[in-house]
Amino acid sequence: MGIKNKLTLMSFLQFFVWGAWLITIGNYWFGTKQWSGAEFGAIFSTLGLSSIIMPALTGIIADKWVNAERLYGILHILGAIAIAYIPMVDNPNTFFWVIFVAMLCYMPTISLSNSIAYNILKSNQFDVVKVFPPIRVWGTIGFIAAMWLTNLTGNKASGNMFYISAIAAIILGIYSFTLPQCKPQNLIDNNSTWIKKLGLEAFALFGTYKMALFFLFSLLLGAALQLTNMYGDVYLSEFANMPQYAKSFVVKYSTIIMSISQISETLFILAIPFFLKRFGIKQVMLISMIAWVLRFGLFSFGNPAEGLWMIIASCIVYGMAFDFFNISGSLFVETTTDSKIRSSAQGLFMMMSNGFGAIMGSFFSGLLIDRYFTTNGTKDWHSIWLAFAGYAFVIAILFAVLFKHKHQPNENQEIHH
């Protein structure tokens, strides 16, 4: 099997593991277990908490002590054990801790998979900006495949979805040991400073204006992503409360409508190399922010009848909003940091977007919706989505003004300081 095919399989399985349960865990929680909504909110917080704690830590370990592909495999096997235990849990408190352990193992593998792919591609003289996106697109395909497998086998409210995920994670864990070696690039010597010994050099990136701003905007956009994950399906489902829409296709098949977002991702990932070469990282990330404005704005004015096109357009725009920052951002980190700290830097990017950003998005959006947009238990979705669109618009303006980066058309795997 060629290098690119090996990495494609890794990418597919990486997100298959997650897609098997992430979208349908609510059905299991509310339908099968009949636990409360307040406790369910804590389950999604495990993704953010894990992203704060683990990616930076595992990035340091991969830069310093352990081959990245081995660490990656170990984490997936440990995560599989935790996920396989979930169907045996019979109370929400234990469920939280088990899923937290599973996420402590899984979340760092997202940034590690990027580091491994970049490392292997560079060692084989590939241009990562051109070659990585078509490999990464198979991750989204894996996510969709797992989501559909769980649904079509009748397991979207069953504990079997966790077994499907665990089996895929064990296969990926074992498979990762067959990948080319990704040895630590930043080995320790006796004369190293304590900062180097602890692997904290990547945190020095916060000391440079461009990288500090990049990480700040990663946090702000990470919050936007959490808004769409938490409220998108709920918003579509609540059209059932309006008699004129109660029996519409959108209400009956809200998850399928939302899956257009993932399908859109696959197309926009493939467009990233062209956009990066043509417009540069700043313009691509700015396009992402404008796409977030459209994502929320179209939701605000959409409905399941004459406004259905807006809901579908919002889902299509999501692919650009998500990919043009998350995937391009990962490539930006790869092409602007020293090889000795790249795994740590990828971990920092993950920590800011999926960690602090996700937690900030869930916490503040919940407060704002309860305080300003809910009357007698009914949410004013039109105003909620407009407020989110305004938030994304302000971020886009600030980014355009504050973030300085000169586009170099031939920018690829070389480092630019």
Same structural domain, 285 and 402: yes
Kindly report the pTM of this predicted structure. 0.77
- What is the per-residue DSSP string for 110-125? HHHHHHHHHHHHHHTT
Same domain (yes/no): 17, 152: yes
CA distance 25 to 228: 16
Residue 351 sits in the same domain as residue 402: yes
In this structure, are residues 46 and 99 in contact, taking their beta carbons and an 8 Å threshold? yes
Residue 161 and residue 240 in one domain: no
Transcribe 41-65 into DSSP letters: HHHHHHHHHHHHHHHHHHHHHHHHT
For residue 374, list its beta bridge partners.
379
Instruction: Examine residue 188 and state whether it is found in any structural domain, yes or no.
Output: no
- Cα diameter, the chain: 73
- Helices 68-85, 37-64: axis angle to 10 degrees equals 160
Same domain membership, residue 220 and residue 158? no
- 333: nearest Cα among 320, 321, 350: 350
Query: Under a CB-based contact definition with an 8 Å cutoff, are residues 25 and 43 in contact?
Result: yes
Domain end, chosen from 156, 183, 210, is at: 183
Do residue 394 and residue 341 come from a single domain? yes
Q: How many domains does the chain have?
A: 2
Same-domain status, 249 and 332: yes
Q: Are residues 120 and 7 in the same domain?
A: yes
For residue 19 the two structure tokens come to: 């897609």
Q: Give domain status of residue 315, yes or no.
A: yes
Asked, for residue 191, whether it belongs to a domain, the answer is no
The answer to the question of residue 195 being in a domain is: no
| pLDDT tens per residue across all 417 residues of the chain | 789 999 999 999 999 999 898 877 877 887 788 877 667 767 777 888 898 888 778 877 877 788 889 999 999 999 999 999 999 999 989 999 999 999 999 999 998 898 899 889 988 989 888 898 899 999 989 998 998 888 778 887 789 999 999 999 999 999 999 999 888 775 545 455 545 544 466 677 888 888 888 899 999 988 888 777 667 777 887 888 888 888 888 877 776 787 788 889 888 988 888 898 888 888 998 999 999 999 999 999 999 989 999 999 999 999 999 889 888 888 888 888 887 777 778 878 888 888 888 888 877 887 888 788 888 878 899 999 999 999 999 999 999 999 877 766 554 444 333
Q: Do 377 and 407 fall within a single domain?
A: yes
Say whether both 179 and 292 belong to one domain: no
Domain-located, residue 192: no
Q: Which of 154, 183, 212 is the last residue of a domain?
A: 183
CA distances from 271 to 113, 188, 242, 278 (A): 21, 40, 39, 11
pLDDT computed for residue 417 by the predictor: 34
379 assigned to some structural domain = yes
Distance between CA atoms of residues 32 and 26, nearest Å: 9
At 73 the pLDDT is: 96
How far out from the chain centre does Cα 204 lie? Answer: 24
Do 81 and 212 share a domain, yes or no?
no
Q: Which structural domain range is residue 366 located in? A: 202-417
CATH of the domain at 310: 1.20.1250.20
| pLDDT reported for residue 272 | 87
269 and 414 together in one domain: yes
Residue 241 maps to a domain:
yes
